[in-house]
Structure 1
Amino acid sequence: MVTVSLTGASKEDAATVFDVLRTAFPIDRPSDAVPQEQPGDHPAVWTAEFEPTRERIPTGPTPLEGSLTATLQGGYVAVDQVGEALRAAFAVHEEGTASGDQEKEVDLRLGTKRS
């Protein structure tokens, strides 16, 4: 299981990233779930959990309105699989990694892939 948290993203970009991952892997929410904004003036954090499988459905480049930060948390292999799915759809820059005995956390900057 990998927890994906998105920050600095519009509701539309969060939905785009989660749609790509939902295509590639099962998700903890129904397929028609859409990110919802909460009232207030605090920054939004969009979160979903994915269960990566060895046989993911490939996705192609997908445009975003802006750039955003994605934090992936989970087991080593699972985080790597989710990262690969994101790299197939977006321009990805790794900003940091923290490793533990059983899990790792990776911070990625996502943007639109340029051809």
Structure 2
Amino acid sequence: MNSPVAHTPQVEVVLSDCSPTDAGSLFAELCRHFASDRCADDTPHETSGARPTMWTGTFDTSTSPGESAGTPSAPSLSGPVKAELQGEPRAVERLRQALDETFVVHQLGAVAGDQEVEVELRLESRRPA
């Protein structure tokens, strides 16, 4: 017997090709919209070594973006940030919409599975009007 798959609101976000400051700004912005396993003031830091640094966070998209506290100015990024989003398609779309409100978002690729999708994005600061 087939039963419908329940909506899983968690989205894993992996950031790379950016500074710790940019990763922190991006995670803080997402924490304004969604509950997370990261604190908004959890500052990413570089690790020593030759491997590229990646930062991860899991965000619960079942909380409403309308519940965010205040509307501070959009964070500025020092350069493009690569972000990979992975989760149930509706949850990924909801998180992406929050990113679209704050950043210029370019989709670089997407892989869809039966119950999950992985989307690769490049995020840039919005230029002042």
Establish whether TM, by shorter chain, passes 0.5: yes
**Count of residues in Structure 1 that have an aligned counterpart in Structure 2:** 115
Alpha-carbon distance in 1 for matches of 2:11, 2:45: 21
1:63 maps to: 76
CA distance in 2, matches of 1:77, 1:13: 26
Structure 1 counterpart of 2:17, from 8, 17, 20: 8
| Structure 1, unaligned runs of 5 or more | none
TM (norm. structure 1) is 0.92
Q: CA deviation at 1:30?
A: 3.2
CA RMSD of the aligned region, Å? 1.6
Q: Identity of counterpart residues, as a percentage?
A: 38
Describe the superposition over 1:17-53 as per-residue Cα deviations: whole angstroms up to 9, x where unpaired.
0000000100112343211221112211111100112
Distance 2:44 2:63 in 1: 27
SS of residue paired to 1:17: helix
1:108 correspondence with 2:121:
yes
- Between 101-110 and 57-66, the greater mean CA deviation after superposition: 57-66
Decide which structure has the larger Cα Rg and report it. 2
Which of 17, 28, 33 aligns to 1:19? It is 28
Q: With structure 2 as the length reference, what TM-score do the two structures score? A: 0.82
Q: For each residue in 1:33-87, what CA deviation from the matched residue of structure 2 results, as whole angstroms up to 9, or x when unmatched?
A: 2112211122111111001125213856331111011000000111001101111
Q: Indicate if the aligned counterparts of 1:11 and 1:35 stay in contact, CA closer than 8 A.
A: yes
